Amino acid sequence: MRNLIIILTIFCFLSCNRKGEIPKELNYAFEYLNEILTAEDIETFKNIKENDTTPNNLHFGIGLHLRNNLLRHHSKSDSIVAYFNSLGITHYDYMSGLILYSYHQHLNGEKVYIQDKVNEIIESEKPYVECAKEQKIIGYEKYKKYQINDTINIKMPVSEYNSVFDRNCPNLDWDFRKSFDLSVNGIVTNKYYSNDSLFANLKVKILTKNHPKTEIMMQEVNVGDEFEVPLIDSAWKIKTTSNNGYN
C-alpha cells in the first residue's frame, strides 16, 4: 500500500508538473475545445497528420468558431489575446491556428511547444509589417496633400466579377489596364484621419467614370454618387488632375 501511495504521488506530481508547463491561456483554450467538441470530433482532430488536408472542414470550422467566440466574446478573451500579443502575434487567424496546433500536440501527449511556429509567423509577416509602417507615413502625407474641393483621378483594379477590389501590403504593385480597370474623376467632399486606428480616407463625389457598369467593392456606384477612397494600405492610384504623377 505504501509503495502504491508513493507511485500515485509521483504520477500526480509529474502530471501536475507537465500541465504546469503549458501556459494557462492555452489551457483555457484546451478546456474550451473539450467543452464544444464531441468525443468523435476530438478523436478525428487528434488523428490529423501535419500534411493531411482531408479534414479541412473540421479544422477551419473550429478555427472560425475560436476567432468569433473564444478570442472575441469570452470571459478569457482578453487574457488569451494578451498572451499571443506578448509573443508578437496580433492577427486572430494566427492565434486560432496556434491554439489548434498546440491542442493537437496536447491530444497526442506531445510537449506543447509553439515558439517554432511563432517564429515562422513573425518571419513571414516581416514584409507586411515593414510595408504597413511605410504605408502609415505615406497615408498621412496623402491626407495632408489632398484638400476638400480638390479634383482628383483614382485608378482601381477590377476583378473578374466586374467590381473594383483592393490590394493590401505587401502586394500593392499593379499595372492599370485601360480596357478593363476603372478610372474615376471626382471631387473631394470630405476627408478623415485617425492615427490610433491607422485610418485615412477621402470621400469623393464621382464626376466621370470610364466604365459606367463597373461596381466599386461590389456596390453599384454612379456619376454623382460618393464613395470612400482609402489612403493607407491601398493599391488604388490617386493623382490631382493637374499632376501627372500617381501615388
Assess if residue 126 is contained within a domain: no
Per-residue tens of pLDDT for the chain, all 247 residues:
444 333 333 344 344 444 458 999 999 999 999 999 999 999 988 998 866 655 555 556 888 899 999 999 999 999 999 999 999 998 899 999 999 999 999 999 999 999 999 999 999 999 998 998 999 999 999 999 999 999 999 999 999 999 999 998 999 999 999 999 999 999 999 999 987 767 899 999 999 999 999 999 999 999 999 999 999 999 999 999 864 455 6
Q: What is the CATH number of the domain that holds 166?
A: 2.30.30
Q: Give yes or no: residues 194 and 236 share one domain.
A: yes
Q: Let me know if residue 245 belongs to a domain.
A: no
Establish if 153 belongs to a structural domain.
yes
Dihedral angle, C-alpha 182, 185, 187, 190, nearest 10 °: 20
- In tens, the pLDDT along 73-111 reads 999 999 999 999 999 998 899 999 999 999 999 999 999
Residues 98 and 16 in one domain: yes
Task: Name, in order, each residue with C-beta under 8 angstroms of 191's C-beta and a sequence gap of 6 or more.
Answer: 143, 146, 147, 148, 200, 201, 202, 203
Tell me how far apart the alpha carbons of residues 150 and 184 are, in angstroms, rounded to a whole number.
14
Q: Same domain, yes or no, for 99 and 168?
A: no
* pTM for this entry: 0.62
Tell me, yes or no, whether 83 and 10 share the same domain.
yes
**205 Ramachandran zone, left/alpha/beta (phi>0; psi -120 to 50):** beta
Considering the domain architecture, whether residues 109 and 11 belong to the same structural domain is answered as: yes
**What's the domain range around 200?**
145-240
